[in-house]
Amino acid sequence: MSLSGKRIFITGGSRGIGLAIALRAAADGASIAI
């Protein structure tokens, strides 16, 4: 799924599932705020 141009705010993104979601979203082109 392309997330290019999307912004995502992730709470708890420093470890575990939150980190995995942040890494995947960034790889798919999203701008991430943790």
Under DSSP, the state recorded for 15 is S
CB contact at 8 A, 26 and 32: yes
Residue 28: give the domain boundaries. Answer: 1-34
Tally of structural domains, the chain: 1
- For the stretch 1-34, pLDDT in tens is 789 999 999 998 889 999 999 999 999 999 999 8
Q: How many CB atoms lie within 10 A of CB 13?
A: 19
User: What is the pLDDT, as a whole number, of residue 12?
Assistant: 87
- pTM to 2 decimal places: 0.78
